[in-house]
Structure 1
Amino acid sequence: MKSKSKSSNLGHRFRDYKGAILRFLRDAHVPFDNNQAELDIRMSKVKEKIFGTFRTPAGLEKFADIRSFISTLLKQNLPVFPYNLL
């Protein structure tokens, strides 16, 4: 069986997932793009490129926990640092 072209596969995915792709038009809470998801993982990739890698899996997990916490605070418009520390 011959494989389909990339454009054909894309067209089929658009047809099959049209509702999910255009959901942002009906639901104002759904973002138009996934930039926030990409931004959330970008910091760990930058750190990995700068330092080569994380020293331990536990270090990576701690870094991810802290970044996740900070990202959640920012998304909810809450201060990252308490006001009395500024």
Structure 2
Amino acid sequence: MMELRNRVVQVSRFGDPERLEVVDAPLPTAGRGELRVRVLASSLNYTEVLIRRHLYPQTMRLRPPFVMGYDVVGEIDQLGDACAIFRLATAWPT
């Protein structure tokens, strides 16, 4: 069986936009108390420009490579154990 893959934008090194790379990564699995979101659209905003340049205080401990993308639109496609509240939310009519 083929492993499901995920395309992500990651920072390979701090600096200019050329340091961003689109790479294939393993598809994560939702753990206990977690859910997985299938991203339908994403953007990189000004906060992520600061993160890429290593100027954002809340992420100063991050070391490349790491994945970018705080601003996403998607749908829940997997629930981990203990996610009962999201089970109810996914049953809402669309």
TM range (shorter): under 0.3
TM-score by length of 1: 0.21
TM-score by length of 2: 0.20
Rg larger in 1 or in 2?
Answer: 1
The structure with the greater share of residues assigned to helix is 1
Q: State the structure with bigger RCO (CA 8 A, min sep 6), 1 or 2.
A: 2
